[in-house]
Amino acid sequence: MSIKLGDTAPNFQADSSLGNIDFYEYLGDSWGILLSHPADFTPVCTTELGFTSKLQSDFEKKNTKVIALSVDGVEDHKKWIDDINETQNTEVKFPIIADKDRKVSEQYDFIHPNASATATVRSLLIIDPEKKVRLIITYPASTGRNFNEINRVLDSLQLVDSHKIATPVNWNDGDDVIIPPSISTQDAKNIFPKGVTEIKPYLRYTPQPNK
């Protein structure tokens, strides 16, 4: 099964480091970040899960829940979490799914045979409250994920959903945003009271709306 942007994220039930989980029930009305890992006790992923743990309170403020996945079992997950907490100076509180039968990995297309016939690739999905997939990023095993970028995309998606805007290249929270071409300049002046800067008829900026 291949998952694409805009698809509904499949639901699943699985054991995890925090007990049995129904994915939809776990997410509830929140946004979700689902990240897969090739195996427990891998160095790059250890640093990633530690950093994710340190960001968890920030994600919670953005109504976002984190859940990880590895093809190892629950007992290994718990031992790995101890290592993560020790080496990354944190306390992992989000669940890590035990996917020994690779059922969830196959649902989410996390097995790429040309990379590994058995281990999951290092993919990350952002899923909105309607359970739609809004971001898919897949990294090589040797490169740690950039959580500054993941946070940036989450900020953008949530802002786009609440306002009729888009975000430009290298945008960060607080920067000017783009007015979509579907909105006329005249309408834009009424919709965006902070002002409209027209570079070209199709390229117009406005200060970021209030969240």
Catalytic residue numbers read: 45
Helix-helix angle 74-88:43-61, to 10 degrees:
80
Residues 6+ apart with CB under 8 A from 55: 147, 151
- Residue pair 151/55 in contact (Cβ under 8 Å)? The answer is yes
Report which of 6, 33, 12, 4 is spatially closest to residue 126, judged by C-alpha positions: 33
In order of 38, 62, 160, the CA distances from 207 in angstroms are: 41, 21, 13
Whole-angstrom Cα distance, residue 31 to residue 126?
A: 7
Alpha carbons within 13 angstroms on the beta-carbon side of residue 74 total: 9
Question: In the numeric block, which tokens belong to residue 38?
Answer: 């090739």
Question: In the numeric block, which tokens belong to residue 102?
Answer: 């690779």
Report which of 120, 157, 108 is spatially closest to residue 135, judged by C-alpha positions: 157
